[in-house]
Chain A
Amino acid sequence: MSISASFPRSLLEKTQEYRLAYFLSYRAAHPRLIEATDMVVRTIQEPAGASFIFVYGPSRIGKTTMRLRVEQMLIQQALPTLETDRCHIPVVSVEAVGTESAQFNWKDYFTRSLISLEEPLIDYKVHYGSRGVRRNNQGELTIEPRITSPELRRALENALKYRRPKAFLIDEAQHMQKMASGRRLQDNLDCLKSLANLTGVQHVLFGTYELLIFRNLSAQLSRRTVDIHFPRYQAEISGDVEVFMSVLLTFQRHLPVEEEPDLLTNWEYCYAGSLGCIGILKDWLARALKVSLDEGAKTLTLKHLKQRAWSVAQLQTMLKEIQEGEKQLTESAEKHKQLYQALGLSEELPIQLNNSLSNDANNLQEKVSKSPGRKKNVGKRNPKRDPVGGVKPNAS
């Protein structure tokens, strides 16, 4: 993490679109992103890897960037073997698509997965391999209401069996739980689970905190999952603030405008407007940059930022969602106590238990999500009783 120079000055002579594209393609490798990415890659490589890896984080924090990085790293690692093993495909990546109806469209999901596996003959599988879907005389695709997903599913199983990817990355995995009923939700989960078991391919699900419902649904699943939390930067933690400011500085240096803007002095405004999510911050800066470039301004000012900021109401909704998710992930002392009481154990144990777990994933989770449970609004104290006298409350 050396201090990198700012954007190349020659950019200033280029067109607006080019300058904007430069900023959009700039991906700051901030510590939390690196940490979570490494965690995912390491977990995938563990010999007795879990079937599922869940990666949660607020929306627009940089999960997709992370997914791309994971793909890149896995491909890089597989390169030497690829020369000899030409059937192997190192990684599959697919985006689960939200559906209009009340249930997740598996047919679509299987088809997309097969396409991303560069499956040969996929067209024929859809057109002739099953009865329901075919082309009519004019060459238009006609789909009969009959379900064809079992055939596609079998095709996907075989593809995974023979291509042996290290990991199956599913972006926006929370869309998979778009369900009309809880029963169907369980079905969806079982479908994914059996696919992972039959093929032995690790599934990595990237999603927002909504994904937590999925994880907690089945005890069987919980055993073979590893959770990786990719949280935002939180103002309550001093280190976080510093990192956030560093990221802000990085962006500030890489905004291709004539004079370097001074964002750092208004870091609090920037933090509030992005909720500490780097993805949101970058989006916001990019939008502001567009305004500034359109105006022909020499630099990016607070005025531009304000023009493009999300409304307070919007931010509040987003924050609420994030905090609910963070709360769910927090393994507070209270929850441990409940668990231990239910098991009939002493109440003092929780801390030791946490320490004894040497699992990397758990450590990380602990590290990054120990405190956020108590966070409310930025810079506001929690409503709690201050300690009086010499006794301190036992924090987890």
Chain B
Amino acid sequence: MLVDKLITYKSWDLEKASIPSHSRLYALEPIGVGTPYVESLTGYIARLAQEHCVPTGILVLSELAPFLKEGYIFKNKEKGLDQIFGHNKTKALNGMSKWVVSAIQGLESLTLHNDLRFLTMLPWMELIPLKNLLRSVKAWCPSCYENWRETEQIIYEPLLWSLNDVTMCPYHYQHLCTHCPYCHKENRLLAWHSKPGYCSKCGEWLGISPHCNSTASIKLTESELKWQIWVTENLGNLISATPNLSVPPKEKIAKMLSAYVNVVTNGNINVFAQNLGMGKTQTHRWCIGKCLPTIGTLLQICFHLGISILDFLTTDAINTDNCSIIIGNPNQANKKTRDQYGQLHNSGHVRLELNAALLENPPPSLTEIAERLGYKRTTVLYYHAPDLCPEIVARHTDYQMAKRLEMMQWELEAVLKSQEYPPPSMQEIARRLGKKSIHSLTNDFPELCSTISARYASYIQERRTERVEKLSQEVRQVALQLHLEGVDPTASRISELLKKPGSILQKEAVAAVSEVRRELGCKE
């Protein structure tokens, strides 16, 4: 009947589809990738913490630390970020050590972003040495902060601000600040309470304020300004080009430098270095690719060559239109250097000279040889003949030593001969010869020294005998005097009348007292 009309309903299986695991941290978009004002990694971490509403320290220690240090887990906030970074080492996070690689891998797996390495100088690891690249304290432009706040943009910390060579804001032409205007302290790149735009020590806003007129107000001189504008522009371009660039190999700098040396100074590295104001040996090492110039040096080189650092590192063309150090006539330039430094020698010549010097007597010093050859320093000799130089130095040292000993002996013998009275002690002689102790003298001249010492000892002994004699006489006189006065000459009574009453205690005085008493027939 009724049942026929009815239907039954399906069951709902409320099992949820398994969803792919989501990113552990919010996929916060890094600011300005591909622009000069790209965010720094430390700033990104601080912003990430801010968005998660936790102190930066907590985020770093509990989320990031396991990627940096194997098996590391967050225990407490004691010691702060120094637990993993060590004192003041957070600056390295914007840099390019292997350690940054693991930090970036960690952050990328937490946020599932894959472009975080452009927030650091990591892509340039091969080409730019880490030395003097990064600041160890945070720097900021208060005007930029204020501007962003007024226009309600996200407050962040550009990578450019963390570079050591950038000291000026490219938008406001003023010095970057490094001290909080309220607490006058410096900020680390990443601290427990880091928050973009705020002091990590006192928590105050770092944008323009009535208190903030310390460093920002110092005017830049014109040449400083020109240099800084060039530096910020160049580094900015370098940073902004990074994401769309395959970074050239390490040899690129050597290749380019050599090419410029060939064009500009006709292959003369020394003249090139001289015009740049750099050491010529160092410049030579850069040219042959033995080492890499720091970013500051590279900037200066590029500045003088009139080429942007980005072009220098990425193009192959040589452009000397803006170069400030073109040497018109290479021959004239060579002559000039000859006048200044004398004949410059090739390796063979130098070796010949050095070999000759090895046979010379007395052996000359290396400095002497360098001067003879017309060099100011010995580094050139070491450069040409690294094996011969130590030999010459050793010979010269031995010679010097022997000379010194001979001198010393002569001095000692003179002392013995001089019949000086009172004869000097060894200590005195060592002092006269400018020595701190007698040990080296007694080691080198044992006989001479012992003679001198013996002479001094006998003199001391003489003086002693003399003194004892004098004392005995005095005691005797006083005792007789007392006896005449009818007083028993006891030791204590005698002592009262002596010049030095304390000397009655001496062995010789006691003997003298008993002797004189016996003579006078006093009771013992």
Contacts and interface: CB of A to CB of B under 8 A. Distances in A.
A binds B: yes
Interface of A: 1-4, 25-30, 65, 68-69, 71-72, 75-76, 78-79, 82-83, 86-90, 118-121, 124-125, 128-129, 151, 154-155, 158-159, 162-163, 242, 245-247, 249-250, 253-254, 264
B52 A158 contact: yes
A186 B214 CA distance: 50
A1 B10 contact: yes
Nearest to A250: B8
Contacts of B52: 119-121, 155, 158
Most buried by A among B6, B16, B51, B53: B53
Given A2-B7, A120-B52, A129-B53, 5 more contacts: A28-B10, A72-B14, A75-B17, A129-B58, A163-B26
Given A26-B11, A121-B54, A86 B23 contact: yes
B28 interface: yes
A124 B62 contact: yes
A109 to B, nearest CB: 16
A264 B11 CA distance: 19
B356 interface: no
Contact of B54 (A4, A87, A125): A125
B421 interface: no
A151 B51 CA distance: 12
A119 B26 CA distance: 9
A2 B58 contact: no
26 contacts: A1-B10, A3-B7, A25-B11, A28-B10, A28-B11, A29-B9, A29-B10, A29-B11, A69-B14, A71-B16, A72-B16, A75-B17, A79-B19, A83-B20, A86-B112, A87-B22, A87-B111, A87-B112, A121-B58, A121-B63, A128-B58, A162-B28, A163-B26, A245-B6, A249-B8, A250-B9
A154 B53 contact: yes
B54 A129 contact: yes
Contact of B59 (A27, A79, A121): A121
Given A121-B59, A129-B55, A162-B28, A76 B17 contact: yes
Interface string B27-68: 110000000000000000000000111110011001100000
Interface string B276-313: 00000000000000000000000000000000000000
A86 B25 CA distance: 10
A124 B58 contact: yes
Contacts of B8: 3-4, 246, 249-250, 253
A2 to B, nearest CB: 7
A124 B27 contact: no
A286 to B, nearest CB: 14
A157 B25 CA distance: 15
B387 to A, nearest CB: 62
B26 A249 contact: no
Given A2-B10, A72-B14, A76-B17, A158 B26 contact: yes
Interface residues of B, number: 36
B294 to A, nearest CB: 39
Interface in B48-103: 51-55, 58-59, 62-63, 77
A254 B77 CA distance: 58
Contacts of B12: 27-29, 65, 69
B5 interface: yes
Interface string B403-420: 000000000000000000
B24 interface: yes
B260 to A, nearest CB: 48
Contact of A27 (B3, B14, B28): B14
Contacts of B58: 121, 124, 128-129
Given A69-B12, A87-B27, A90-B19, A242 B54 contact: no
Contacts of B15: 72
A65 B11 CA distance: 11
A23 B77 CA distance: 52
Contacts of B53: 125, 129, 151, 154-155, 158
A118 B22 contact: yes
Most buried by B among A29, A75, A79, A87: A87
A181 to B, nearest CB: 30
In the A-B complex, list the 8 residue pairs whose CB atoms are closest, starting with the nearest. Answer: A162-B26, A87-B27, A155-B53, A250-B8, A27-B12, A28-B9, A86-B112, A68-B14
B57 to A, nearest CB: 9
Nearest to B12: A27
Nearest to B52: A121
B500 to A, nearest CB: 74
Contact of A4 (B9, B14, B16, B20): B9
Most buried by B among A72, A75, A124, A129: A124
Contacts of B9: 1, 4, 28-30, 246-247, 250
Nearest to B25: A120
Contacts of A155: 52-53
B14 A65 contact: yes
A79 to B, nearest CB: 6
Contacts of B7: 1-3, 246, 249
Contacts of B16: 71-72, 75
B218 interface: no
A88 B11 CA distance: 30
Contacts of B28: 162
Contacts of B11: 4, 25-29, 254
Contacts of B10: 1-2, 4, 28-29
A119 B24 CA distance: 8
Contacts of A245: 2, 6
Contacts of B51: 158, 162
A83 B18 CA distance: 12
A119 B3 CA distance: 51
Contacts of B5: 242
Nearest to A128: B58
Nearest to B74: A124
A65 B6 CA distance: 23
Contacts of A151: 53
A65 B9 CA distance: 15
Contacts of A254: 11
Contact of A162 (B6, B21, B27): B27
B149 to A, nearest CB: 18
Nearest to A78: B19
A291 B22 CA distance: 45
A259 B96 CA distance: 76
A119 B112 CA distance: 16
Contacts of B55: 124, 128-129
B78 to A, nearest CB: 12
B393 to A, nearest CB: 63
A89 B26 contact: no
A45 B28 CA distance: 25
A6 to B, nearest CB: 8
Contacts of B23: 86-87
Nearest to B50: A158
Contacts of B21: 86
Nearest to A7: B11
Nearest to A27: B12
Given A29-B12, A158-B26, A75 B54 contact: no
B28 to A, nearest CB: 7
Contacts of A154: 53
B111 to A, nearest CB: 8
B109 to A, nearest CB: 11
A87 B12 CA distance: 29
